[in-house]
Structure 1
Amino acid sequence: MSKPRSLALPPGTRARRLDTVRGAFAVLDTAPAGERRGTVLMLPGYTGSKEDFLALLGPLGEAGYRVVAVDGRGQNESYGPRGRAAYRRRALALDAVAQALALGEGPVHLLGHSFGGIVARSAAVLAPRAFRSLTLLSSGPGRVARPQRVRIRVLRAGHALLAKDRVWRTTRWLDSRGEEPDEAVDSEEVLGFLRRRWMLTKVAQLSGTGRLLLRDPDGAAELAGLAMPVHLAYGSEEMVWAPAELAEVATGIGAHHTVVEGAGHSPNVSHPRELAERLAAFWQRVDAPAHRAAPLSTAP
């Protein structure tokens, strides 16, 4: 989960509902400043929400991009059913495809952070014509690190035995034991938001998506087979997936490759301007007419 440092909406950003053929989703929709270069759909990670991308919205809007960050089904302010079947991988991927189509601007750039990368990868495989490119931000393929697997198992077991507020206090303790550099939360406003987000998110969503994280197969072959540019971006201090394994995958499939020095699992929070510059450079290259016939080279 990312922890925003501020909840202030950047200029040109509005909170609204995005109506799709698969229901309505809560989104933050940022208009581009000046000439529009493209549209980006962003999917948050496990226990996260659209607010995880707040620090990115302003810089990307300044770079000319419309950015739509979404709460997935059952996540934060988006409705979700109670049954676990609603949170299977294909169902979540179909949601992402529906969100992209509902934006009404043709193929969009797709970015998924952490668990959102698993959903984004599945959506790109399911409906490649809906997307111009795929960016996995601090996300596999590959198995998540053991401390994160333990944390997910603790949370899933806790929901089966304890009240949701008790599980929230447990997550705060676990987070305090593994805080990333520069990501500690001091603001009472932000702490209050994190608790509200946790309480709003459906237990079935937390359980179902946690199960997917634990069982996600190695998706390198899926990525290699995609007929679109792929970008792997992560911090040099990434702790959920092994950076060396991510670099190996990027090289193996010929993906564009970004390493944000000094960042952990959430460069979208800790290094938003540097990350925004690297993302915009990737998308501009994807959209350049000369690029259409040739893949991007791997370039950290």
Structure 2
Amino acid sequence: MSRPPTFTPPPCARALQLSTGRGPFAVLDARPEGTARGTALLLPGYTGSKEDFIAMLEPLTAAGYRVVAVDGRGQYESKGPDSQEAYAQQELAADVLAQAAAAAGTPVHLVGHSLGGQIARAAVLRDPEPFLTLTLISSGPARIAPSQRERVRLLSEALELTHMDMEQVWAGIRAMDPPEETDIDGASADLHRRWIGHNPAQLLATGRQLTVEPDRVAELAAVRDLPVHVMSGERDDTWPVPLLDDMARRLGARRTVIEGAEHSPNTDQPLRTAAALGAFWAEAGRQRG
């Protein structure tokens, strides 16, 4: 579970509901002073939320970009139906296309962390036109590693077979956390509130997606004129780093490894991650120019 340093938006950002053709989505909308160099749409990972990008908002707006971090349907503060069918990957991809249209009306820089990366990829494969660039943060070519598939299986069984509620599952997760991680700068209450906000149907459906996702790298590589960026930490137990290296090679993508980070560079090393994103977007802009 990613652990953002705070759930309080910086002064550059507002928490609001983004109205789209597919319903409202909770977002953090961060804007620079003056005219923005572009707009970025940021998608969180499994069990995550828009707050996973919160420490990157100020450095990215300081670099001149507007940033819209989103709770997908059924995540934290974005409501979603109780039917697992509503969270099929193509439904979530259609949501991303609607979010991009509502946020900017012009092409955006698309960023997805972990599960969010695979949803971002599906959105690009459905229609690449709304996107200037694609950045995949700690998001691999296909299904997650065996150890993580087992974690998803245990969570799914708890929710679906034993009929534990979200409070009971939360208690079990906290009981398994290392003692030094039971509270980080008082963030436990925020993490609990986020967990309870997730719709169990969303966790079940997207967890299943993570365990069966096929390799679609060749499809993505065939998308013309879309700069792609593969980012990760130095270590990753969800998709091994050598697998991400190979994916970047197959895509002909820019590759960035964030020193001092693991599966969530956006929360582990937000300043370094923001700097790498800004550099990629600026380079893509120069190439377009």
Specify if TM > 0.5: yes
Provide the TM-score with structure 1 as the length reference.
0.91
1:165 equivalent in structure 2? 167
Gap regions ≥5 residues in structure 1: 294-300
Change (3 A) 1:219 1:35: same
Letter paired with 1:234:
S
Change (3 A) 1:87 1:129: same
Secondary structure of 1:128's aligned partner: coil
Offset, 1:11: 2.1
1:292 equivalent in structure 2? 288
Distance across 2 between alignment mates of 1:96 and 1:51: 18
1:222 equivalent in structure 2? 219
Offset, 1:163: 2.2
Provide the TM-score with structure 2 as the length reference.
0.95
1:209 equivalent in structure 2? 206
Matches within 5 A, 1:224-263: 224-227=221-224, 228-263=226-261
Distance across 2 between alignment mates of 1:173 and 1:215: 28
1:38 matched to 2:38? The reply is: yes
Letter paired with 1:279:
L
Contact 2:73/2:79 (<8 A) preserved: yes
Distance across 2 between alignment mates of 1:68 and 1:16: 10
1:21 equivalent in structure 2? 21
Letter paired with 2:227:
P
Secondary structure of 2:178's aligned partner: helix
Matches within 5 A, 1:131-146: 131-146=131-146
Q: Deviations over 1:157-186 (max 9, x none)?
A: 000211221111222234439x9xxx7742
Matches within 5 A, 1:49-64: 49-64=49-64
Distance across 1 between alignment mates of 2:66 and 2:39: 5
CA RMSD of aligned residues (A): 1.6
1:297 equivalent in structure 2? none
Distance across 1 between alignment mates of 2:165 and 2:11: 39
Contact 2:38/2:66 (<8 A) preserved: yes
Distance across 2 between alignment mates of 1:18 and 1:28: 9
Distance across 1 between alignment mates of 2:241 and 2:176: 22
1:195 equivalent in structure 2? 192
Distance across 2 between alignment mates of 1:36 and 1:42: 16
Change (3 A) 1:214 1:221: same
Secondary structure of 2:125's aligned partner: helix
Offset, 1:187: 2.7
Distance across 2 between alignment mates of 1:107 and 1:93: 16
1:296 equivalent in structure 2? none
Letter paired with 2:188:
L
Q: Deviations over 1:227-285 (max 9, x none)?
A: 21111000011221010011011112210110012210111112111111111010011
Letter paired with 1:205:
Q
Secondary structure of 1:91's aligned partner: helix
Letter paired with 1:156:
S
Distance across 1 between alignment mates of 2:194 and 2:49: 8
Letter paired with 1:196:
R
2:92 equivalent in structure 1? 92
